[in-house]
Amino acid sequence: MTRQFVMEKGFQIIVFFLMDFWENYLKGLMVEKNLIAHEKLYPLEREQALPEDKIKDDLQDNYHLVFMTIPGDPAGPGDYFEEIIEARMKIPPLKQHDGLIVSEDMLFQLTIDYCHYFNEKFVQNDRNFSLDFAIDWLEDMRRHPDKHKTEWKIWEQTIEYVFSPGDKHLIF
């Protein structure tokens, strides 16, 4: 991955990738591996569910929060990304905007760092939750790209979308 992007576009790539990756790949994989249920439990179902099913339901909620709700928030996840970029690249928030050029490799690393960031937040707040499955999967994508053609196709489609005409309504 040798392409380079202005951080504002890179931010959009990361956010839209996270959302698309969850919705069109990771969620289905986690269902297939029996880590989460295919459908959310309704409140009455949850009351009667086995502890294992409640854990799966909570895990699905938390993954949805990290991959869909936070990135899709109208206020945007920019503040989180400023912290993540500063931790990884040692660039203060005020210098992250207005033309910072970032390699595609770094963008993908920041995607993984985003997951680590929320993993740590959940641990700090004593939530019985882990993004380890997603983190391990993303790291494996980087190490073994030939094994992850479907996932990399989502990445490529995201880049095409970000650079396609039209306003994306997501500002870093």
Domain count, the chain: 1
In this structure, is residue 38 part of a structural domain? yes
**59-94 burial, b for 16+ CB within 10 Å, e for fewer?**
bbebbbebbeebbeeeebbbeebbebbeeebeeeee
**Alpha-carbon dihedral of residues 112, 116, 121, 127, nearest 10 degrees?**
110
Give 6-34 pLDDT, tens digit per residue.
999 999 999 999 999 999 999 999 999 99
In this structure, is residue 114 part of a structural domain? yes
Give 42-93 pLDDT, tens digit per residue.
988 989 999 999 989 988 998 999 999 999 887 778 899 999 999 999 999 9
In this structure, is residue 67 part of a structural domain? yes
Q: Which domain does 11 fall in, by range?
A: 4-163
Cα–Cα nearest to 112, from 94, 127, 132, 97:
132
Answer yes or no: are the C-beta atoms of 115 and 135 closer than 8 Å: yes
Q: How far apart are CA 114 and CA 100, in angstroms?
A: 19
Q: How far apart are CA 102 and CA 154, in angstroms?
A: 20
- Whole-prediction pTM value? 0.91
In this structure, is residue 170 part of a structural domain? no
In this structure, is residue 172 part of a structural domain? no
